[in-house]
Amino acid sequence: MNAPSPPPLKSIPAAPDGLRAAGPVLPRAAVGVPTGAARKGVRTAVGPDPQTGDGRYIVAVLRITAPKGAIPTATSTCLCGRDRSVVGHRRVINLIADHEAHRDACPLRTPQERRIAA
């Protein structure tokens, strides 16, 4: 069994019959390039990475959703493990107050040494 030959394509050039050495490459004429520019190089200013932060990161998030004409919902999450969700006007207001109180009591925001000293 022979594999079928591939269909002829227009963009495939014919292969050369033998090997031949490459000819010498002539330098191109540079127009508008000052002489000696390659030896001078380009100065670059390497500074600090602008993407790096200042050491701060988000610890707690309070997410409130209150579409017009619908019942509001809120979620309070913290990296210390706190995760609370509520539905309703009064409960959302209470969760906002509870979230603010948690900021002062969270062990990630207030290390144990500072709380004992206070």
Specify if 31 maps to a domain.
no
Is pLDDT at 9 greater than 80 in this prediction?
no
Specify if 99 maps to a domain.
yes
Q: State pLDDT tens for residues 90-112.
A: 999 999 999 999 888 888 876 65
Task: Supply 96's token pair.
Answer: 């906002």
Task: Supply 51's token pair.
Answer: 């993407």
pLDDT band at 23 (very low <50, low <70, confident <90, very high): confident
Specify if 93 maps to a domain.
yes
pTM exceeding 0.75: no
Q: What is the span of the domain harbouring residue 101?
A: 60-117
Specify if 67 maps to a domain.
yes
d(CA 65, CA 67): 6
Total tally of structural domains belonging to the chain: 1
Specify if 86 maps to a domain.
yes
Task: Supply 39's token pair.
Answer: 């030896």
Specify if 7 maps to a domain.
no
First to last CA, the chain: 89
Specify if 46 maps to a domain.
no
Specify if 14 maps to a domain.
no
